[in-house]
């Protein structure tokens, strides 16, 4: 990981956005929803998902269909695969990459793909089991999802999956940035997705990580609020197209922003409970700022990981305060999980879009349901409604179960 800012022509910029989320399937619809404070959390049919009589979640309403070709068909992908494929295909189109096999601006061999997917094979086994099949390895199983998507999109460069729990898609973006900075690829699609699954619901329910509210789905996700009682599951995710500024300018690409800095650390204090010492989480934030060449006072917005768990939000607030120092009181912070739910593997990439939305709209998305801020979470909160605010430099935190700490710095491209 670089600890010094990249030169202007080597800076890694974002030239394409693809998304399939509870708040919409393109940048403008997501930005509109976030700034309007619109929630995607609804009551779902809990059969097979939970023992609770009423179950709230943030599902994807419709997955865009990707036209089939001679190599594959959309029906060959399960729900997770369809979401990943749709987001990746949309990002490629948004970046204007065209046919990577043909005479387009980029050759497929110089394009990479990194997807953050926490439990790909578990999801497919679970689907087989629920359909009456057997949860076993089979020799005729298709190749890994990331390679099937790469083949479908004409990507012939490196393609890998990374898993870092709730920070998975952020780690994917970090790895893609490194590949580009090292000259291993010219362009890289990176992000991640997740789906609602009975296994996920059961696991998080038994860990008492999920909200058990049963009154109003829109009011269930309450990051930083005194009455929070856990997170709300969401599904979907996002894929971004990254490339060096030099390469983007050479092909006349539209630049949406710069992935200016990355910071990572680990503090495996417990499998799911964050460390009560904020040092390592704060280190990830500090390293991200350092690699972007910015100071805490330069930040205009922090998109907090805050999922609404009683211990997690307090731990993150302490880490932000330790990393930013006196600037903490003047840097607006909010959690968009109050609207989207927690997309788990796809959360970091989706929240990178939230940062780009803040830059594009010059306004801070709110934290819904923040009626009574927890006094242990002393931040410059943006409760209930968006705040118009000049935004050039943003930071987005992702703290995965098991101590996977990540911070991305995303800023307006020069």
Residues designated as active site: 166, 305, 342
What is the phi/psi pair of residue 253, to 5°? -75, 150
Q: Are 270 and 218 in contact (CB under 8 A)?
A: no
Cα angle vertex 254, ends 336, 245, to 5°? 95
C-alpha span between 364 and 344 (Å, rounded): 22
Alpha helices by DSSP H, 233-342: 245-250, 279-292, 310-324, 337-340
Sheet of strand 404-411, all strands in order from the earlier edge strand to the far edge: 159-162, 111-116, 187-194, 236-244, 12-20, 257-266, 404-411, 393-400, 301-303, 332-334, 380-381
> Kind of pairing, strands 301-303 and 332-334?
parallel
Token reading at 158: 């490196």
Q: Is 115 helix (H, G, I), strand (E, B) or coil?
A: strand
Please, is 2 exposed, middle or buried when counting C-beta atoms within 10 Å of its C-beta (0-12, 13-18, 19+)? middle
From its phi and psi, is residue 325 left (phi > 0), alpha (psi between -120 and 50) or beta?
A: left
- Kindly give, in sequence order, each residue whose CB lies less than 8 Å from that of residue 178, ignoring residues fewer than 6 positions away: 1, 2
C-alpha span between 32 and 339 (Å, rounded): 12
- Tokens 């990355």 sit on residue: 262
Query: Could you give the maximum distance between any two Cα atoms of the chain, in Å?
Result: 58
List strand residue ranges (DSSP E) for 210-256, in order.
236-244
> Kind of pairing, strands 257-266 and 12-20?
antiparallel
């Amino acid at each position: 990981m670089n600890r010094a800012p990249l030169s202007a022509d080597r800076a890694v910029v974002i030239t394409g956005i693809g998304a399939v989320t509870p708040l919409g399937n393109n940048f403008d619809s997501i930005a509109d929803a976030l700034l309007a404070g619109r929630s995607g959390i609804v009551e779902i049919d809990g059969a097979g998902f939970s023992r609770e009589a009423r179950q709230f979640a943030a599902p994807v309403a419709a997955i865009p269909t990707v036209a089939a070709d001679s190599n594959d068909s959309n029906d060959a992908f399960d729900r997770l695969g369809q979401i990943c494929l749709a987001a990746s295909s949309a990002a490629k189109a948004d970046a204007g990459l065209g046919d990577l096999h043909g005479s387009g601006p980029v050759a497929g061999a110089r394009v990479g793909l990194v997807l953050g997917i926490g439990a790909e094979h578990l999801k497919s086994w679970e689907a087989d089991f629920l359909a009456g099949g057997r949860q076993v390895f089979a020799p005729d199983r298709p190749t890994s999802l990331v390679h099937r998507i790469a083949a479908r999109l004409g990507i012939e460069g490196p393609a890998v999956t990374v898993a870092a729990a709730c920070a998975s898609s952020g780690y994917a973006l970090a790895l893609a940035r490194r590949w580009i900075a090292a000259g291993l690829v010219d362009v890289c699609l990176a992000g991640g997705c997740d789906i609602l699954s009975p296994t996920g619901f059961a696991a998080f329910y038994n860990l008492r990580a999920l909200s058990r509210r049963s009154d109003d789905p829109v009011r269930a996700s309450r990051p930083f609020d005194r009455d929070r009682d856990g997170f709300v599951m969401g599904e979907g995710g996002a894929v971004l197209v990254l490339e060096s500024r030099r390469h983007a300018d050479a092909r006349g690409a539209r630049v949406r922003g710069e992935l200016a800095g990355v910071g990572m650390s680990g503090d495996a204090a417990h499998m799911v409970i964050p460390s009560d010492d904020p040092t390592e989480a704060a280190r990830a934030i500090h390293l991200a700022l350092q690699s972007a060449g910015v100071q805490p006072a330069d930040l205009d917005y922090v998109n907090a990981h805050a999922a609404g768990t009683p211990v997690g939000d307090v731990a993150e607030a302490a880490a932000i305060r330790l990393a930013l120092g006196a600037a903490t009181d003047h840097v607006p912070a909010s959690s968009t999980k109050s609207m989207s739910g927690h997309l788990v593997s796809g959360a970091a990439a989706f929240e990178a879009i939230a940062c780009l939305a803040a830059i594009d709209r010059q306004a801070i998305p709110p934290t819904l349901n923040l009626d009574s801020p927890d006094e242990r979470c002393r931040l410059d909160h943006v409760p209930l409604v968006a705040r118009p605010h000049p935004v050039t430099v943003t930071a987005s935190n992702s703290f995965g179960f098991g101590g996977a700490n990540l911070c991305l710095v995303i800023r307006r491209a020069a």
